[in-house]
Each structure stands twice: as structure tokens, then as C-alpha cells.
Amino acid sequence: MIRSSLSRRWFLSLVALTAAGLTGCGGTPSNGPAAPAGGGTSAASSASSAAPTVPKDYKIVIVTNGSSPFWDACDRGLKDAGEKLGVRVELIRNDATEGGQIRRLEQLATQADIKGVGISVLESQASGVAEQMQALRKKGIKVITVDSDGPAEAREAFVGTNNLEAGRELGRLAAQLRPDGGQAAAFVGFLGAQNAQERIAGFKEGLGEKISLVDSMEDQVNESKARNNVTAALQNHPQLNVLAGIWSYNAPAIADVLSGNGRRKDFTVVAFDAEPNAIVAMDQGLIDVMVVQNPYEMGFQGVTLLHRLIEGDQAGVDGMLKGGTVYDTGLRVVVPGPDSKLESKYRQPLGEFRNWLTEKGLEGS
């Protein structure tokens, strides 16, 4: 809920007496994507960019689906946005269960300073999570989804990847690597997650007519089971020649199995995301290509959007959402080096990608 006009006048009066100026809200860092319309910084604040931002009296949180290193980049983006906007923020890591997300949302509902919540919905049909999201909205709390979407009626907007298009791109890349065709298997945490469903559907479409998707296996975000699933797929499908990691930790799991059994040469390995271990695996020749999301932007833009919703900045919201309910954080196609023959409009060699990570202070994405 937004503060009363009386409280706001009191607060602004206090600020006027204690600070020379405030930095503006909205936008993204200069080395990221272009800032959404409706943000920007006033001329006065630009002239005094060193002036501290006065913290606001509310908090914005993002609840994850699990605790993968994927979320480290989101945490950095969330904190950078909080510092820029002068709002308290927190990333709450879930335990990869629906019950865990429900409990965390229930706890947030009891905290009076919570005014904005983002959540990566673990299961798209999880009615209990959707009910808690709607309960938060009834209390006046702004709710969005990040990374993995949920029911449209339970949230204001989705901030994340166009997962269907990203899946298609992964399939197209696999088809380039296996022009003679073959069989593919996909590995993921939960088949019921919206992002998993969209990525796998897109992947199957992008593979084309020569490669068949013969299996999709879930591991409930258990890394040991993730490796066991890869081993089982190799045993169950002797003609398999394409392995696809759909969630971030699946790529290192595939690499571990192929490194251990000495069968790397028999398989094309394509994967989503770039955890630190996946980057090392690509360096070692164990992964052919990675379709990499931007969790940093999910955190940064998620907080930015929630801040604008809370503050009633409709022009800023419209600038980000362009009249819809989705903010696309984009993707990269990371290839081992500049000599790679793979073609993609999202293409970026591993060395350039590492430079971007260093600029952001990140180890993975």
C-alpha cells in the first residue's frame, strides 16, 4: 500500500531539511540493456550523483524456486537496483518445494513493511502458491513473477526470459550440430514448471524433423538424481546423441556423467544457463553451446518494476511493459570461441561473455 498523503508530506519535508538532493529512480546500469521508458535521472540529481539515496520505509523481496548458483546473479541485480532506488531488498531462497514457497509467502504477508514481492513459481499448477500470491495482492502488496511464470490472475506482470523462443533457439543450435539427425533427451528439475514446459516445447520445435525428443526427465532439483537421470537415459535410449540441460545445474550434471564414462565424443551437449561449473565444463570441451538467460536483469528489473508499481509510476510501468504484462530480460548464445561455426543472432564467444561477467562482478548467469 502507498503511504498516505500526510505521511508523504512529512517524509518529504524531512528529506528536504536533511539532504541536498535525491538521485532519480528507474533505468538500468549503463553497461546493460537500454533503460525502460519512464525512468531516468533528473538534471539536479545528475549534477550531484554522489549524494546518498534516502532509504524508503518499505521492502521488496524476490522468492526463488530453489538455491542454485543461478540465483547469485539475480541477487546482485536485486541489490544494485535497491541501492539505486533507495529501497530495502532481499532475495529469499526457497527449498525447491511448493510447500516452502507457500510458507515463505505466508510469512511475508505478516510483515507490514513488505510492499512488493517477486516469485519464481515452482509449479505452474500449484494452486496453493497462486492463492498466497492473490492473498498478498488483496493486502495491497504488488506481486510479480520472475524467471518462471504463474497464473496471470495471480500477478501483475512477468519479468524473465521468453522461454518458448529460448527453447526454440536451443533446438535450432542442436540441429546445426547434428545435421544428420538423431535422438535427444531433456533434463530438468520439475516438468510442471512453466519455464520448463515452454523451454521443452520450444526445444522440440527447434529440433526440426531429423531429431526426435525421446525423453524428458525431472529430478526435483536433486543434483544426484540429475546425474542418475543422465545415466539412465543413456542406458534406455541406445540411439541417443543429443543431451539437453533445461535448468542451470543440469549442464554440469551432464558434463560430470560424460566425463566419468568417457563417452563425450558420442554426444552433442546443449544447455540452458551458465553456472560457474558449466563455464568450466565448456572450457574443458564438455559442453557445445549454452543458451544463457540474464538473472542479473531479472533481479534488477524485477525490483525496478515493483518499485514503480508501489510508487504509482504508471508511465514508468508502461515504459517497461509496453502495454502488456511481460518484461523480456533477453538471452545470449554462448559458444566456446570465436571460431565456432554455430549461427545465432544471440551469439557471443565465451571470452566476451566472461568479460561481461567480470564487469558485473558475477561468476555465472
Output the DSSP codes for 27-69: ---TTSSPPPTT----HHHHHTTTSPPPPPS-EEEEE-SS--T
pLDDT of 266: 97
- Architecture field, domain 163-292+331-360: 3-Layer(aba) Sandwich (3.40)
Neighbours of 3 (CB within 10 A): 16
- What integer is the mean pLDDT of 322-334? 96
Domain ranges of the chain: 59-161+295-328, 163-292+331-360
- Lowest-pLDDT range of 9-13, 49-53, 273-277, 292-296: 9-13
- Lowest-pLDDT range of 42-56, 144-158, 211-225, 308-322: 42-56
Sheet of 268-272: strands edge to edge?
A: 211-218, 182-188, 240-245, 268-272, 289-292, 332-335, 347-349
pLDDT of 126: 74
Show the cell assigned to 312: 504509482
Query: What are the strands, taking DSSP E only, across the chain?
Result: 59-63, 88-92, 114-119, 142-146, 158-160, 182-188, 211-218, 240-245, 268-272, 289-292, 326-328, 332-335, 347-349
Residue 15 has pLDDT above 70, yes or no: no
Residue 22 has pLDDT above 70, yes or no: no
pLDDT of 20: 36
Q: pLDDT tens across 244-254, in order?
A: 999 999 999 99
Q: pLDDT tens across 36-53, in order?
A: 333 333 333 333 333 344
pLDDT band at 55 (very low <50, low <70, confident <90, very high): low
Question: Mean pLDDT score of the chain, rounded to an integer?
Answer: 87
- Architecture field, domain 59-161+295-328: 3-Layer(aba) Sandwich (3.40)
Residue 357 has pLDDT above 90, yes or no: yes
Sheet of 114-119: strands edge to edge?
A: 88-92, 59-63, 114-119, 142-146, 158-160, 326-328
Strand duo 114-119 + 59-63: pairing: parallel
The number of residues in the chain equals: 365
The Cα–Cα gap between 149 and 160 comes to: 8
pLDDT of 56: 76
With 0-12 / 13-18 / 19 or more C-beta atoms within 10 angstroms meaning exposed / middle / buried, residue 209 is exposed
The residue assigned the cell 544471440 is: 346
The Cα–Cα gap between 332 and 351 comes to: 13
Strand duo 211-218 + 268-272: pairing: unpaired
Q: Do domains 59-161+295-328 and 163-292+331-360 have the same CATH topology?
A: yes
The residue assigned the cell 533434463 is: 187
Please answer whether residues 145 and 159 qualify as being in contact, where contact means their C-beta atoms are separated by less than 8 angstroms: yes
